[in-house]
Amino acid sequence: MTRIDQTFARLRAEGRKAFVTYIMGGDPTFETSLEVMKGLPAAGVDIIELGMCFTDPMADGPTIQAAGQRALDHGMNTDRVFEMVRAFRTADDSTPIVLMGYYNPVYARGVDRFLAEAKEAGIDGLIIVDLPPEEDSELCLPAQAAGLNFIRLATPTTDAARLPQVLQNTSGFVYYVSINGITGSAAPTADSVGPEVARIKAATDLPVVVGFGISTPEAAEVMAGVGDGCVVGSAIVKLIGEGRPAAEVLARVAELAEGAHRG
């Protein structure tokens, strides 16, 4: 079992939902980003999604695009992402870390090298948003052979014919994108998300975590309530982009976590 599997097993035993947060690695600087990352578990975060900055983030909205550019401007790269994870792991060997990003940086590094370094650094899973199931042999299957979960996204447009392909080699959890569009878009509703989550859960034993458009503790509670947890990203990245101190960012994260854990 990976740390992700262990975390969901523990949460199920405790009767709690998962609170997952996204931050961009190196935003706005390596040091500030690491400070926030180190504080996330104590603020109530169960799983950390760590963004890999990329020059062409086609699935991301303006908030996360800007975060990636800030990180790039301060010299963030794949080496430094791994360095950040290693630094986090010196004090925390239990919180799962999922790298989220695009395939180009993985391909440029070489799949075998990337996976070996990710595993050594202490990464538990990957979300690579621009690799469809038809390309599972490219990264998904090698990642799972290396002991990493490969987490796939399902969306409102993933119909009954497509869903089995999406789920076929997915592990860890399914990330349900609750709205059509880019990150940071309009808030989803339980009426629209609930039936879709139920449809996915009928087809898999994996946990289903709901993300996109969640920015308040109330929304986190509702979305965690219809799934096995929720993801908050842009709302946190926005505070970092405004230059808020790490303590203020983490205080807001704690409020969001309380909402998610009530779900």
Tell me the catalytic residues: 49, 60
List, in sequence order, every residue forming a beta bridge with 21; answer none if it has no partner: 48, 232
- Residue 211 contacts residue 253 (beta carbons within 8 Å): no
Q: How far from the centroid of its chain's Cα atoms is residue 34's Cα?
A: 16
Angle ∠(4,8,11) on CA atoms, nearest 5: 140
Q: How far from the centroid of its chain's Cα atoms is residue 17's Cα?
A: 15
Pairwise CA distance, residues 55 & 1, whole Å: 34
Q: Tell me: cis bond preceding 207? Omega within 30 of 0 counts.
A: no
Angle ∠(245,248,254) on CA atoms, nearest 5: 140
Three-state SS sequence of 87-147? HHHCCCCCCCEEEEECHHHHHHHCHHHHHHHHHHHCCCEEEECCCCHHHCCCCHHHHHHCC
Outline where DSSP puts E strands in the chain.
18-24, 47-51, 97-101, 125-128, 149-150, 152-154, 174-177, 208-211, 229-232
| Inter-helix orientation angle 234-241/246-262, to 10° | 170
